[in-house]
Amino acid sequence: MGDPWQDEISPRYLREDRIDLTLADPDETPSALRSFLVDIDYSRTLPQYVVMPLIFEVIGPSTTSYRRKIFSRTPPASIVVTPQEGGAHRLILREAAHNKWWGKLAVDVAGDSIT
């Protein structure tokens, strides 16, 4: 059992992976320069839920693939992603503050790499 004072300042649930990202169509193979849909589930953040702003990042094999979008008003239920090149991509959605909850999805995109 932890120290109650420390648990109040820094509870154990801070910085946890509580946002679920999934491909809307798991049978579809994402391809470079073709959009695909990512669904987002916030049910594991209840009852507190997420607090805005949320930051969405796409990190691809090269620096030219990096994309960042900030959601300030409402949490998105889904996000359209258009990868710029093929290869391994990591999609991350996270709270900027509050509990700093996050979620990630690794996607292998078909197509050629820019580098």
E strand residue ranges, the chain: 20-23, 36-41, 54-59, 67-71, 78-81, 87-95, 102-109
**Span 16-44, pLDDT tens digits:** 999 999 999 999 999 999 999 999 999 99
Class of residue 50 by CB neighbours under 10 A (exposed 0-12, middle 13-18, buried 19+):
buried
> For the segment 47-87, what is each residue's pLDDT rounded down to a tens digit?
999 999 999 999 999 999 999 999 999 999 999 999 999 99
- Quickly count: other Cβ atoms within 10 Å of residue 83's Cβ: 24
- Residue 42 CA to residue 46 CA, distance in Å, equals 7
pLDDT of residue 14: 82
Amino acid (one-letter) located at 30: P
Chain-centroid distance, C-alpha 45: 14
Query: Do residues 78 and 40 touch, judged by C-beta distance below 8 A?
Result: yes
- Sorted by where each begins, the domain ranges of the chain are 27-109
Tell me yes or no: is domain 27-109 CATH 1.10.357. Answer: no
Residue 2: what pLDDT? Answer: 59
At residue 5 the predicted structure's pLDDT band, cuts being 50, 70 and 90, is: low
